[in-house]
Amino acid sequence: MPTNLFSPLQMGSLSLTNRIAMAPLTRNRAGAGNAPQAMNVEYYRQRASAGLIVTEGAQISATAVGYLATPGIHSTGQIAGWKQVTDAVHSRGGKIFLQLWHCGRVSHPSLQPGGILPVAPSAILPAGQAFTPTGWQPLVTPRALESSELPGIVADYRKAAQNCVEAGFDGVEIHAANGYLLDQFIRDGANRRTDAYGGSLENRSRLLLEVVGAVAGVWGAERVGVRFSPINSFNDMSDSDPQRTFDYMATALNAFDLAYLHGMELDFGANPPDFDFAQFRRCFKGRYMANGGYDQARANAALASGYADLVAFGASFIANPDLPERFARNAPLNTPDQATFYGGDEKGYTDYPALS
Ligand code: 8OZ
């Protein structure tokens, strides 16, 4: 039988019961101190039949934050909250990676400790808005990080990865997609640096590779995934040659024996550049997690052809806590309610019905 969503997957020392991943999904429902709270525990518990859950992005430090009510992984309260989540998922036999997140320029002084400016590779004002305690406000021109500050950013990733061990995760995914800090270093529309972290592809990959090395030093590379979004213009991102850039990045990751490379294959904007995902994927010699608008049929085709090793589902996992069972039974899917994606309470979060 060809490989399909229900084929088990051995990922290093981790055994996944199926190849259906829950994509990382920002939901803006963290509790006090940006710590996971009871309804977050219930939400992930409900979805534990995924072969692998990748959590919503969790900020690695107080200054990595970019949105209201997103969880962190830098305080004792946050670690304790996540421990409840991992215990709940493990009690149902699930596996869960935390997504390590630094928003970089996609933040706002009103979300930052002491009202300081967000940081970025370069002081370039991105188009877009931040959702702040007083509502939507335009993004601001960030402060360019000094070269001497970059070891501190890498150290923050390392510490957050250590916190994930304490919180009982099975591994971590490094968020290098969708216009956040690591992606800002990778793509030249956001990176105009003239030091060793800007200009050439080698230089633009440097911070990413230092972070991967540091996090792999904590977890072992086989418990570390990396997410890219080569064509996503979200957060005002652009690159002068996406194919060349991301083929390079995927190739560079072959230096580690990672759990997986995760490709977010969509552009949230209207004019995606030409991009050959098959070529990009072939640059990477390890496992590939495909994501972006897949349904069951397309996912199975991607697995059968060897293009993908796992497929991550986002909106359909929001609306269907028992998505694997629905796929297995070819049961109808609940429709996601966009109005309750970001922020709010249990409504649109833990109240989607499972099959009876
Ligand atoms: C939507 C809203 C807020 C954040 C991403 C973490 O795009 C996000 C995100 C998505 O990766």
Whether 345 is in a domain gets the answer no
Closest Cα partner for 82 from 134, 129, 111, 43?
43
Task: Flag whether 254 is in a domain.
Answer: yes
Residue 352 within a domain: no
pLDDT of residue 209: 99
* DSSP code for 341: S
Quick: pLDDT tens for 323-339: 999 999 999 999 999 99
Helices (H), 56-149: 76-91
CA of 254 to the centre of ligand 1 (A): 27
* Mean pLDDT, the chain, integer: 98
Q: Which of 296, 326, 327 is nearest to 311 (CA)?
A: 296
Using one digit for the tens of pLDDT, what is the confidence trace for 282-311?
999 999 999 999 999 999 999 999 999 999
Specify the ligand 1 atom closest to the Cα of 67. Answer: 3
- Within-domain flag for 346: no
The total of structural domains in the chain comes to 1
pLDDT at 5 over 90: yes
DSSP 8-state secondary structure symbol assigned to residue 275: -
Q: Of all residues in the chain, what percent carry a pLDDT higher than 70? A: 100
Q: Which of 178, 181, 236 to mutate to test the pocket of ligand 1 (most atoms within 8 A of CB)?
A: 178
Query: What is the reported pLDDT for 203?
Result: 99
The per-residue pLDDT for range 16-69, each reduced to its tens digit, is 999 999 999 999 999 999 999 999 999 999 999 999 999 999 999 999 999 999
Nearest CA, atom 1, ligand 1: 26
Q: Is the pLDDT of residue 169 over 90?
A: yes
> What pLDDT shows up at residue 356?
85
Distance from Cα 329 to the centre of ligand 1, integer Å: 31
| CATH code of 273's domain | 3.20.20.70
Find out whether 121 and 185 touch, Cβ atoms under 8 Å. Answer: yes
Instruction: Kindly state the percentage of the chain with pLDDT values over 90.
Output: 98
pLDDT of 147 > 90? The answer is yes
Does 67 sit in the ligand 1 pocket, CB within 6 Å? yes
Query: What local confidence, expressed as pLDDT, does residue 1 receive?
Result: 86
DSSP annotation of 72 reads B
The answer on pLDDT for 163 being more than 90 is yes
In ligand 1, which atom is closest to the CA atom of 56? 6
Note if 180 is an active site residue: yes
Residue 47, domain member (yes or no): yes
Structural domain includes residue 45: yes
The CA 356 to ligand 1 mean position distance, Å, reads 32
DSSP assignment of 285-331 equals -S-EEEESS--HHHHHHHHHTTS-SEEEESHHHHH-TTHHHHHHTTP
Residue 14 is predicted with a pLDDT of 98
Q: Which stretches of the chain are assigned E, i.e. beta strand?
A: 9-11, 14-16, 20-22, 52-59, 96-101, 119-120, 129-132, 135-138, 143-144, 171-175, 224-228, 260-264, 288-291, 310-313
Cβ of residue 57 lying under 6 Å from some atom of ligand 1: yes
pLDDT in tens, 69-117: 999 999 999 999 999 999 999 999 999 999 999 999 999 999 999 999 9
> Is there a domain that residue 348 lies in?
no
- Where does the pLDDT of residue 8 fall: very low under 50, low under 70, confident under 90, or very high at 90 and above? very high
> Within a domain: residue 142?
yes
Would you state the pLDDT for residue 178?
98
* Burial zone of 102 (CB within 10 Å; 0-12 exposed, 13-18 middle, 19+ buried): buried
Q: Identify the active-site residue in 180, 248, 288, 352.
A: 180
Q: For residue 218, what are the domain limits?
A: 9-340
Q: Is the pLDDT of residue 188 over 90?
A: yes
